[in-house]
Amino acid sequence: MRLALRELRRSKRRFTPTMVALSLLVVLLLMLGGLLDGLYIGSTGALRAQKSELVVFDASARESTLRSRIEPATRATIEDVDGVAATYGFGIALVGAEVPGETDLADAAVIGYEGNVDGVPAPPEPGTAWADKSLEASGVAVGDTIRVGPTRIPLEVVGWVEDTNYLQQGGLWVEPDTWREVLAESRPGAAVGDDVFQNVWVALADGADADTVAAAIDDATGTTETITRDAAVLALPGIKEQNSIFTQIIAVTFLVAGLVVALFFALLTLERTPMLGVLKAVGASSRQLVGSLLTQTLVVTAIAYLIGALVALGLDAVIPPEVPIAITSSRAVFVAVGVFVAAAIGGAISLRRIIRIDPASAIGTGT
Amino acid sequence: MPALQLRNVRKTYQSGDSEIVALDHANLEVPDDEILALIGPSGSGKTTLLSIAGGLLSPSEGNVVVGGHDITEYSAKDLTRFRREEVGFVFQTVNLVPFLTARENIMVAAELAGRGSEKAARARADQLLEELGLARRADNLPAQLSGGERQRVAIGRALMNEPKLILVDEPTSALDTKLGNQVMELIVGEVKSRKTAAIIVTHDTRMVHYADRTVSITDGVLAA
């Protein structure tokens, strides 16, 4: 261990190229992961914030909130199903919002709701909204009256909520009639009547099974498709594809990180074979030499991770807020664990060679 | 008790269908304060004998007894400990760890053993450096030392753990005559002052007068 650390300290130049390459890969992993998380968070917040376990769509809407309509009679049928504790109407209108003092319109999602949303207070008064904090970057402030939709319907912002956006549009949480008004003005063809919602969220009774209740609801109404909150999140346009593509890129990057470490330590071990033979001859065990290699692998990776994380955080700070990057602590831990595992596997490639070094090679040969 | 006994030691290698005999029923006894010079031409089996005596190779037949302990049946782990604690090696080419200072190179065997205090090991290394005339070079890396100084550090490393047996492989092959004599005088002085046994493998007959006894080897067969 001390040998390994001394070599790292005194042969910095030898380890620098690998450290730099790994640092860049960490930057890439954190930025890609941050972008994936940013896109995911910014697209799905309004659904993830729901406390209710199930959401009901009109069967013809193919799990799209904007296409779905749930009539009051259907809702009444849903409420009669065993295992349903309560229902909450829900609807969304995607609009542009005029912000005082700003020339550009802010992208907003006006969300009509009846409650049971994590982090969002009860619906505010008509004509007022809880605004997602992300809208602050578009110039919105509490107390502002912003104007939404083509007819510029005024909405006074009465407070902030967080992580409640929908498809990258800032959430404006309003009571249902205000939402219906905005929807009717922004998409007249999609206007809904009194008490009609796009979705109904279903809170389950204690002990009720989500899948059983979902099936019972669809059987009872004959016109709905009921899915879980997580399924609704994945049903949002592009989410599955986005997750799949980014996950593949991230996996390949982890693979490259492992290969960088594997190649470096394989070459280093090859170059040091005579010296390792001498150390074995004077009493170093294979275990000690393997421990040294793993120590160096982990220290190089730790330093590279630290540098990479600092660079990524620096970049995140200067990237414009419109770019949806969110470097979360869970992502940072995931990348750290992934890089360490990839590096450990990469380093382990050289273990066999170290174990097979014959101490007798020290005699008659030299470094 | 002799420092080393080889009893009917044979070492063979397979090369295709044929068997190569590197050491043929060798019998040798080295008392615990004797310096033995082992001479012979290239490929005669000198290095094989030295490797077997130092626990680097296992014999095909026969027994190797070092300090009264038969190491023939030692496991790989036992041999590692044996090499670390019971023998000292001085290799043909100076094999110092390039990123360790002269002092640290001498201390490396003690560090690998992981026993005893670092302070005591450091004091012993400094004492050896003093004896070897390298006190002022203690903090120099091998690249900052001359060939002769590096060889002296290697001798210090071999002596560090106070071994019962010191095995020296061609110590003068890379040195000119003057430096070769200095190194041999140093080895003999250090070994004799500790009453330790040593086998010095050399093909340089000018150096054999430093030894108490000379044994020659040809085609794996020892001859006094």
- Asked if A268 and A331 sit in the same domain, the reply is yes
Return the CATH superfamily for domain B1-86+164-224. P-loop containing nucleotide triphosphate hydrolases (3.40.50.300)
Residues A352-365 have a mean pLDDT of: 79
- Asked if A262 and A225 sit in the same domain, the reply is no
Q: Look at residues B27, B20, B4, B7 and name the one whose alpha carbon lies nearest to residue B217.
A: B27
Q: Look at residues A306, A279, A289 and name the one whose alpha carbon lies nearest to residue A347.
A: A289
Burial A56-75 (b: 16+ CB within 10 A, else e): bbbeebebebbebbbbeebb
- Asked if A296 and A348 sit in the same domain, the reply is yes
- Asked if A312 and A214 sit in the same domain, the reply is no
Let me know if residue A367 belongs to a domain.
no
Most confident among A6-15, A209-218, B119-128 (mean pLDDT): A209-218
Residue type for position A344: A
pTM of the model: 0.78
More confident residue, A56 or B76: A56
- Asked if A164 and A249 sit in the same domain, the reply is no
Q: Give tens-digit pLDDT for A102-151.
A: 999 999 999 999 999 999 999 999 999 999 999 999 999 999 999 999 99
Last-in-domain residue among A235, A253, A288: A235
- Under the banding of pLDDT at 50, 70 and 90, the label for residue A51 is very high
Q: How far is CA A358 from CA A113, A236, A365, B56, in A?
A: 73, 60, 12, 8
Let me know if residue A194 belongs to a domain.
yes
Last-in-domain residue among A183, A211, A235: A235
- Asked if A223 and A208 sit in the same domain, the reply is yes
- Asked if A54 and A201 sit in the same domain, the reply is yes
- Asked if A219 and A272 sit in the same domain, the reply is no
- Per the prediction, chain B carries an average pLDDT of 88
Q: Look at residues A240, A180, A178 and name the one whose alpha carbon lies nearest to residue A43.
A: A240
Find the closest chain B residue to A285 by CA distance: B80
Domain spans of chain B? 1-86+164-224, 96-162
Nearest to B80 among A10, A278, A285 (CB): A285
DSSP three-state, residue B110: helix
Last-in-domain residue among A203, A235, A267: A235
Report residue A202: phi and psi, to 5°. -120, 120
Query: Does the pLDDT at position A365 exceed 70?
Result: no
- Asked if A207 and A114 sit in the same domain, the reply is yes
Nearest to A281 among B83, B93, B113 (CB): B83
Look up the domain containing A266 and give its range.
Answer: 2-44+239-362
- Under the banding of pLDDT at 50, 70 and 90, the label for residue B224 is low
- Asked if A246 and A206 sit in the same domain, the reply is no
- Under the banding of pLDDT at 50, 70 and 90, the label for residue A95 is very high
Cβ distance of B95 and A363 shorter than 8 Å: no
- Under the banding of pLDDT at 50, 70 and 90, the label for residue B115 is low
Cβ distance of A3 and B100 shorter than 8 Å: yes
Most confident among A178-187, A265-274, B160-169 (mean pLDDT): A178-187
Cβ distance of A367 and B169 shorter than 8 Å: no
- Asked if A190 and A328 sit in the same domain, the reply is no
State how beta strands A153-161 and A84-98 pair: unpaired
- Per the prediction, chain A carries an average pLDDT of 92
Find the closest chain B residue to A367 by CA distance: B95
User: What domain count does chain A have?
Assistant: 2
> What residues contact A335, with CB distance under 8 A and at least 6 apart?
A26, A29, A30, A33, A305
Q: Look at residues A312, A314, A326, A248 and name the one whose alpha carbon lies nearest to residue A42.
A: A326
Size of interface A-B (CB pairs under 8 A): 82
- Asked if A148 and A214 sit in the same domain, the reply is yes
